[in-house]
Homo-oligomer: A and B are copies of this chain.
Amino acid sequence: MEFEEQIKQLKEYLDAEDINQFRDHFLELHVYEQSQVYLSLSDDERLRGYNFLSPKEMADMFEILEEEEESVEKYLEEMNPQYAADMLSEMYRDNAVDMLNQLDPATIKKYLSLMPAEDADGIRRLLKYEDDTAGSIMTTEYISIFANQTIKSAMSILKRKAPEAETIYYVYVVDSNRRLVGVISLRDLIVHEDDEMIFDIMGDRLVSVNVNDDQRDVARTIQDYDFLAIPVVDNEERLIGIITVDDIIDVINDEAASDYSGLAGVDVEEKSENPFVVASKRLPWLIILLFLGIGTSTLISNFEEMISEASILAVFISLITGTAGNAGTQSLAVAVRKLADSDENKRNFGKLILSEISSGLITGVVTGVTIFLAVGIWQQNFVLGLVIGIAMLAAITIANLAGSFIPILMEKIGFDPAVASGPFITTLTDLTSVLIYFNIAALFMDYLT
């Protein structure tokens, strides 16, 4: 049966209040498919669903739903508060925390007060970590053992804890102070004999992240090492959580979207379809840049007399600003990416800027000579060609410098370089290009009129 038909069928069971049929068919779906069903239900149908499914069953599905941020509040609100609290406490803590983070403090408090104290405490501890740190994406549902256990006893702990642990594929070895001393994969546990000791087979080259590390760095480490999960320690090297690869994929996607958004000067994740909402999100950038653009216009207006003497100059304004803007955008994108990719200690800002200036000069010379010939032949005026060519060379070099220098500057003063947008760079290079162009043209005015 097609999935669309299955959804239709499930809705019919719901509408007919046929709890048994609904449960039989709904619960055999994968939780992701369950979430797709849930998202397609009407308000009434969802309300009925809460009566048909236990908080635990709803929790399994909500692990997946966590990303539909804008609706989470509505869903929780329409549930009986005790049911919602039970569901939240059945979820993996990292996901429960992600959901609670969408709510206002009073509502969070309400749900926490309805939960078993242990769960509420655990969640409260996770809620306090700052956004985008390892702590904010970790879960506390890991499995830990001691080094002086046999594999057999480790396996029995593992079997017992498997239902609630977020991953059982890595088991972490701690000492009596909860300090992380080793790690062992389920693969290793399985291929070794029952009576071997953990300390003989555990890996003791520990790779862990600090709870305050940036989530981007955590993502890079997991990718470098091809881990399925990584342990999180506090400043005393005590194990306090783990981060699993599925959450890292979310981080990678979010960071990619935010880099992309930054370059375009717009939040590309915009979900609204209301054109007024869309416009209201895009306008701030546009208006700011508009006023920067008025700066460029003011600059040009200083050269108005030159233009009325040699109107041909106006013909090439957009060509020079446009080409410099394109070069600056390329330079910006490369610089932002290099800043994001390399480790702190591999970064060499001077070298990056120097490299952009050099490649700017080379592209500038090639582009300048091309336009010198093109304009010279087209306008039968090689002096004009020379003016445009030299202006182009200078404007491109400056644009490359700006494209690399601005993200570096932002990084230095503590901003995310990825928010340096392409539109900002092009608008800024409009200004520098115009300045360069008219000053060079001024030198040759005798030959241009």
Number of copies: 2
Distance A169 CA – B130 CA, assembled complex (angstroms): 33
* A133 close to chain B: CB less than 8 A: no
A308 to B159, CA, bound (A): 85
Q: Which residues of B contact A290 (CB under 8 A)?
A: 319, 323, 367, 370-371
Q: Is the CB of A287 within 8 A of B370?
A: yes
Whether, in the assembled complex, A374 has its beta carbon less than 8 Å from a beta carbon of chain B, the answer is: yes
* A304-B311, A363-B283, A426-B426 given; A329·B264 CB < 8 A: yes
- Does A266 lie within 8 Å of B334, measured CB to CB? yes
A5 interfacial by beta-carbon distance below 8 Å: no
Question: At the interface, yes or no: A344 with Cβ under 8 Å from chain B?
Answer: no
Q: Across the interface, which residues of B come within 8 angstroms of A358, CB to CB?
A: 275
A385 CB, nearest partner CB in chain B, Å: 12
A300-B315, A301-B315, A358-B275 in contact; A337/B269 too (CB < 8 A)? Answer: yes
Docked pose: A255 CA to B266 CA in angstroms: 20
Q: Is A32 an interface residue (CB 8 A)?
A: yes
Q: Name the contact of A268 in the complex, choosing from B162, B187, B334, B378 (C-beta under 8 A).
A: B334
Considering only residues 175-219 of chain A, those with a C-beta below 8 Å from chain B are 186-187, 190-191, 205, 207
- Counting CB contacts under 8 A, is A260 at the interface? yes
- Do the beta carbons of A30 and B225 come within 8 Å of each other? yes
> A238-271 toward B: CB 8 Å interface, digit per residue (1/0)?
0000000110110011001101110111101110
Q: Which of B259, B270, B322, B426 has a CB less than 8 Å from the CB of A296?
A: B322
A293 on the B face (CB < 8 A): yes
Q: Once bound together, how far apart are the Cα atoms of A121 and B333, in whole Å?
A: 42
Interface size on A, residues (CB 8 A): 107
**Residue from A168, A270, A282, A427 having most chain B Cβ neighbours under 10 A:** A282
> Is there a chain B Cβ closer than 8 Å to A439's Cβ?
no
Closest CB-CB distance, A3 to chain B, in whole Å?
A: 11
Q: Which residues from chain B contact A264 at a C-beta distance below 8 Å?
A: 263, 329-330, 332-334, 422
Q: Could you tell me if B29 and A205 are in contact, using CB atoms closer than 8 angstroms? A: yes
A191 touches B205 (CB 8 A): no
Point out the residue from B190, B205, B287, B422 that lies within 8 Å of A28, measured CB to CB: B205
Q: A207-B30, A322-B293 are in contact. Are A223 and B249 (CB under 8 A)?
A: yes
Instruction: List 20 other contacts, CB 8 Å, given A162-B190, A291-B374.
Output: A64-B226, A223-B246, A226-B246, A245-B245, A252-B253, A261-B333, A264-B332, A264-B334, A265-B329, A266-B334, A268-B333, A279-B359, A279-B363, A282-B363, A290-B319, A290-B371, A293-B319, A294-B374, A318-B430, A329-B423
- Ordered by A's residue number, 29 sampled pairs between the chains whose C-beta atoms are within 8 Å are A32-B224, A32-B226, A159-B191, A186-B186, A186-B190, A223-B249, A228-B245, A245-B249, A248-B249, A264-B333, A266-B330, A268-B333, A268-B337, A270-B334, A273-B351, A275-B362, A283-B367, A285-B330, A286-B326, A287-B366, A287-B370, A290-B319, A293-B318, A294-B319, A296-B318, A296-B319, A301-B312, A311-B314, A314-B314
